[in-house]
Amino acid sequence: MSTAIYDAIVVGAGSVGMPAAMSLAEQGLKVLCIDQFASPGQGSNKAAIGGLRATHSAPAKIKLCLDSLKTFSTWKETHGDDLEWRQGGYLFVAYRAKEEKILKDLLVVQKRHGLNIDWYEKQELLEIAPALNPEHLIGGTFSPEDGGASPMLSCLAFHRRAMALGVECRFNERVTSIIRRKGKVVGVRTDKGGYATECVINAAGPWARQLAQAGGLDAPVVPDCHEAGITEPAARFLEPMVVDIRPAPGSVNYYFHQIHPGQVVFCITPDPAIVGSDRRETSAFLPMVSRRMVDLMPKLANLKVRRTWRGLYPMTPDGSPLLGRSAELEGYIDAIGMCGQGYMLGPGVGALIARLVSNRLQDGDEAILQELSPGRVFGGVEALK
């Protein structure tokens, strides 16, 4: 085992683990980050399509994502890295009375928690996104302070910042066990060695359950598969992320936005869920999503699709993360179960984890940790998961 003793070891160098390691180092802690892949963000982070929103219905996720948005929107000014941040907002459309009611009901909760979001009637919505199909359009909600950025550029920027602060990173290394003694964490063992610590943070994304089991624990995190795609670049015609929550055969919803270089990136939420870790793309995805997208925005029919891929969503029973200390193993902390929203939650979660480890919790942190406690009783599902 290495003779170095770390204040904290973060397992996972992706959307959550990398900002967590960075935030821990900002608190002055000696941090080691271990990842099974060759470089930062090579797990699920690179499959994300880059949407960043605080327009959730769960109070804890709203607060964490507001913190994340602050990080993304000020990063270039503060640290100099271009994350391809665009504040285009999020637009949820309603073409039926059912979706209109869902979105208007959610506004009550969202406004109560400080979100800048409102209902817009048809003509107002068409001013925001002129390319929308106006036929049967009722209106929708729009949150102008949401946006998007590049997941890979973000993860690399967080990694550079972490390294500058003294974080040690070990890639191509897999944690095989969490070493425990008398109910406490004392280190981790990997396929290449061992490291001493009294604090292990599980930020392993879709592989979180295996890591928990390596410490004699368990975690109700099960990966399911979501496919995405990207078109050729085009002159800018779309500012917000557009979300259509109407269900259809094979899908619950779909969403897309035009990223900084001009390509349109899109994703679908499959129904039923495709449980497992098979990341091979399918032949069914593109015909399914393209029909829906072209119906919603006819001019998309002129764009060629360049590539599709498949990523893993680490799902929990209620669609919300597991965040906080273990009641069974002292020194073990969960930052897992982001349900496909790890990129938008990552900086907020990472900062909270750092405050938790360093015993510097702020007002409101305890409420978040209680809402997202790994030991909570699961019930219901978040409305906009």
CATH label of the domain that carries residue 241: 3.30.9.10
Q: Choose the final residue of a domain: 315, 336, 362.
A: 315
Would you say residue 385 has pLDDT above 60? Answer: no
Q: Please say if the pLDDT value at position 382 is more than 70.
A: no
- What is the number of structural domains in the chain? 2
Looking at 293, 315, 337, the residue that finishes a domain is 315
180 in the same domain as 233: no
Are 9 and 185 a contacting pair, CB within 8 Å? Answer: no
**pLDDT tens-digit readout, 98-155:** 999 999 999 999 999 999 999 999 999 999 999 999 999 999 999 999 999 999 999 9
If pLDDT is split at 50, 70 and 90, which confidence band does 89 have? very high
* Residues 303, 263 share a domain: yes
| Cβ pair 339, 315 in contact under 8 A | yes
Query: Is 72 part of any domain?
Result: no
Q: How many CB atoms lie within 10 A of CB 171?
A: 14
DSSP 93: E
- What DSSP string runs through 115-142? ---EEEEHHHHHHH-TTS--TT--EEEE
Residue 324 lies in a domain: yes
* 207 & 93 share domain: no
Do 242 and 256 contact (CB within 8 A), yes or no? yes
Q: How far is the CA of 164 from the CAs of 22, 160, 201, 206, in angstroms?
A: 9, 6, 21, 28
Element (H, E) at 214: helix 208-214
As a whole number, the mean pLDDT across the chain is 96
Tell me which residue of 116, 127, 126 sits closest to 95, measured CA to CA: 126
Tell me what pLDDT residue 383 has. Answer: 56
**Residue 376 in domain:** no
Instruction: Give the model's pLDDT for residue 254.
Output: 97
CA angle 27, 28, 29 (to 5 degrees): 95
Q: Which residues contact 101 (CB under 8 A, 6 or more apart)?
A: none
pLDDT value of position 4: 74
Q: Mean pLDDT throughout 196-215? A: 97
Q: Is the dihedral of CA 281, 132, 53, 220 positive or negative?
A: negative
- Give the pLDDT of residue 379: 76
Same domain assignment for residues 9 and 112 = no
Query: What kind and span of H or E run contains 208?
Result: helix 208-214
Neighbours of 154 (CB within 10 A): 29
248-286: per-residue pLDDT in tens? 999 999 999 999 999 999 999 999 999 999 999 889 999
In a domain, 57, yes or no: no
7-52 confidence digits (pLDDT tens): 999 999 999 999 999 999 999 999 999 999 999 999 999 999 999 9
Q: What are phi and psi of 88, to 5 degrees?
A: -90, -10
Of 272, 293, 315, the residue that ends a domain is: 315
The arrangement of strands across the sheet holding 175-181 comes to: 5-6, 193-197, 184-190, 175-181
DSSP state string for 280-348: ---SSHHHHHHHHHHHHSGGGGGPPEEEEEEEEEEE-TTSS-EEEE-SSSBTEEEEE--TT-HHHHHHH
Range of the domain at 336: 5-50+151-221+318-371
Q: What percent of the chain has pLDDT over 90?
A: 96
Q: Is the pLDDT reported for residue 380 higher than 80?
A: no
Rg (CA), the chain: 21
Q: Which of 191, 187, 186 is nearest to 175 (CA)?
A: 191
Q: Clarify whether residues 216 and 165 are in a common domain.
A: yes
Amino acid at 264: V
In the predicted structure, residue 334 carries a pLDDT above the cut 70: yes
Instruction: Indicate if 326 and 307 belong to the same structural domain.
Output: no
Residue 267 sits in the same domain as residue 216:
no
What pLDDT, on a 0 to 100 scale, did the predictor assign at position 198? Answer: 97
Would residue 161 count as lying in a domain? yes
Task: Say how many CA atoms lie within 13 Å of 220 toward its Cβ.
Answer: 13
202 with 261, same domain? no
Return d(Cα 205, Cα 223) in angstroms, integer: 9
In a domain, 383, yes or no: no
Residue 181, domain CATH: 3.50.50.60
195 and 135 belong to one structural domain: no
Query: Is there a domain that residue 322 lies in?
Result: yes
Residues 192 and 274 both lie in one domain: no
In this structure, the answer to whether residues 253 and 281 fall within a common structural domain is yes
Q: Sorting pLDDT into bands at 50, 70 and 90, what band is 316?
A: very high
330 belongs to a structural domain: yes
Contacts of 109 (CB under 8 A, 6+ apart): 57, 59
**Is residue 141 domain-shared with residue 227, that is, in the same domain?**
yes
Instruction: Encode burial over 290-317: b for 16+ CB neighbours within 10 A, e otherwise.
Output: bebbeebbeebeebebeebbbbbbbbbe
Q: Report CA-CA distances (Å) from 286 to 261, 266, 282, 292, 335.
A: 22, 10, 8, 10, 33
